[in-house]
Amino acid sequence: MTGGPAAKPDAPAVRSLLDLTGRVALVTGAGGGIGRVIARRFAEAGARVAVHYRTSREGALSLVHEIAGAGGEARAFAADLNASDAAEALVDDVASALGPLDALVNNAGGYPLAELMQMKPDAWDDVLASNLRSAFVCLQAAGRRMAARGTGAIVNVTSIQAFRPAPALAHYSAAKAGLEMLTRSAALELGPSGVRVNAVAPGLIWREGLETAWPEGVARFSKASPLGRVGRPEEVADACLFLASSAARFVTGTTLVVDGGVLAGPAF
């Protein structure tokens, strides 16, 4: 089945596909970890970047300084996304400081370990709030404003744990699975307004001290991956950058898995 506008739109030049010059991007949970790298890569692509943090103030401010030192533009914004109307205020503050939002990366979240049978309801609620509710309220706040402008891209950072369970991560897997379906639902409802919504699902990604803290996990993941290693934060960031860019202008409602091929392996 084919269809489309009466006039064929000109394709962007290849060199401009990942160019975010003039665009404003908000990355949640960017005070450290993968979020920090996502924000840095978006700034390298030319975006004016809003670096959101909840508790990692020093990390967020150092990133803003780093981006400015490289010739980019960034501002740090503090917000507890579980607080009432915090997401609405955050998006408005970003627009006032940097301009209307063009891209949102929902990266904020956490994954404390807890055995299912010993898990307290409050622990379940906390993980669903930090990983799913926070993304929902940010998506809603940004999505309304993007839809009114007729353009925008939202990227939700999920996990391969949305597709395969792991011990002591039932709450995290449930939250990320919910975020997968929120991505598709939002793509369906926001698409007619010109807003694209996609997800990136990382596998095990390197962080400082990972090999020391969890050597058996690194070994298992590396063995399961056809590429034979864990991922790098830059590899997740580049997937987010692709989905937010013009290179993915006809991509919505899908998930880009960044796991070195682990999910492609045999189940048994």
Catalytic residues: 172
Q: Are the CB atoms for 261 and 225 separated by under 8 Å? A: yes
Query: Which letter does DSSP use for residue 10 in this model?
Result: P
Q: Are the CB atoms for 225 and 262 separated by under 8 Å? A: yes
What end-to-end distance do the CA atoms of the chain give, in Å?
A: 38
3-state secondary structure of 100: coil
Q: Which residue's entry shows tokens 């003039």?
A: 22
Please state, in angstroms and rounded to a whole number, the distance separating the CA atoms of residues 31 and 68.
Answer: 15
For the chain, the 3-state helix, strand and coil shares in percent, each to the nearest 5, are: 50, 15, 35
70, two tokens: 């490289």
Please state, in angstroms and rounded to a whole number, the distance separating the CA atoms of residues 241 and 61.
Answer: 22
Residue 25 to residues 8, 44, 168, Cα–Cα distance (Å): 28, 12, 34
3-state secondary structure of 156: strand
Angle at 175 between CA 245 and CA 82, to 5 degrees: 85
Q: Strands 255-258 and 24-27, how do they pair?
A: unpaired
